[in-house]
Amino acid sequence: MTLVNAHDRALQLLQRLSDRGPTTPVSTGLGPLDDVLGGGFRPGLAICGGIPGVGKTAFGLQLTLRAARDDTPAVYLSAEQRPDELLARLLAAEVHRPVSALLDGEPSVIAAAFEAVERMPLHVVYVEGDPASPAGSVKALAKVIDEVADFHGSAPFACVDYLQKLSAGGPNGKDDIRVAIGKVSSALSALVRESGISLLAISSLNRASYKERPSLESFKETGNIEFDADLAMILKRPEPATDKEKDEAVRSPHLSPVELWIVKNRIGPVPAEPIALLFDGALGSFRATEDESR
């Protein structure tokens, strides 16, 4: 252990911040979430969990594209979908048509998508399938991030989908799932510390928590997640409270309310109540209900 004088360290910190100059948080594009985060994502590890089908991938893609719209280079790494599948989802959401219509090759949708490519900031977006790497997908991601940062001259925003399918590398063949996920979580935490990036990791949840009030314990095989994460969020579908809400859900099956719970926030408040969102399942996009009234 090395003793460090707090006064000297404080002066060093302030000098580094002064030399770096002002920075701007990476906006999520969701007003109420930006309010809680003080403007958006800052460098660190954010985790977003949810049950299957709640829209986790759509959420990650939407926030990744939003970062790019603000001229922040962005990297999306998927352990489940190929780059073409991810791009199809982004394009379909941009032209406000179901992804099935795009993949079926409907002429009007294809034409609209051709126009969308030219106005979307895809020149700073990098989508990757989980690369086969003996060193592990987290180390492969670190290499991609370094390449993007060198090319654009600034650290990218990154999103990985999803945490439970990544590998940290090294000998882990005999590790149980909890230990393996803990290694991935720790590796991602180390990556953001070393690179100074904002990274959003999508995570599954344990089934026991599906109907409970979301908490850090909701994360599947939580391992080190609760310690490594700077920000932890959970997407959850609320139970319809009234017959009217149930009828509305039947009439609009593609549009559903979703709650975004903040369960950990190292640099700001943890709201007692969730942020109310609407998820358009056909288009794969979220919007905040509060944004509509602003």
What's the mean pLDDT when you consider all of the chain?
Answer: 87
The more confident residue out of 134 and 129 is 129
Q: Judge whether residue 175 has pLDDT over 70.
A: no
Mean pLDDT for 118-124 is: 96
pLDDT digit string, tens, across residues 4-34: 899 999 999 899 888 877 778 999 999 999 9
Axis-axis angle for helices 83-94, 107-119 (nearest 10):
90
pLDDT recorded at residue 71: 94
Are the beta carbons of 235 and 54 closer than 8 angstroms? yes
pTM of the model: 0.88
pLDDT recorded at residue 218: 84
Task: Judge if the upstream peptide bond of residue 162 is cis by omega within 30 degrees of 0.
Answer: yes
Confidence of residue 250 (pLDDT cuts 50, 70, 90): very low
User: How distant, in Å, are the alpha carbons of 162, 177, 237 from that of 180?
Assistant: 14, 5, 29
pLDDT digit string, tens, across residues 146-164: 999 999 999 999 999 988 8
From the list 201, 268, 192, 247, the residue with the least C-alpha distance to 63 is 201
Q: How far apart are CA 166 and CA 147, in angstroms?
A: 20
pLDDT recorded at residue 180: 83
pLDDT digit string, tens, across residues 176-214: 777 888 889 999 999 999 999 999 999 988 776 767 788
Are the beta carbons of 223 and 229 closer than 8 angstroms? no
pLDDT digit string, tens, across residues 53-110: 899 999 999 999 999 999 999 999 998 889 999 999 999 999 999 999 999 999 999 9
CB atoms near residue 264 (< 10 Å) = 17
Element (H, E) at 129: strand 125-129
The more confident residue out of 240 and 180 is 180
The domains located in the chain, with CATH, are 39-292 (3.40.50.300)
Mean pLDDT for 276-286 is: 93
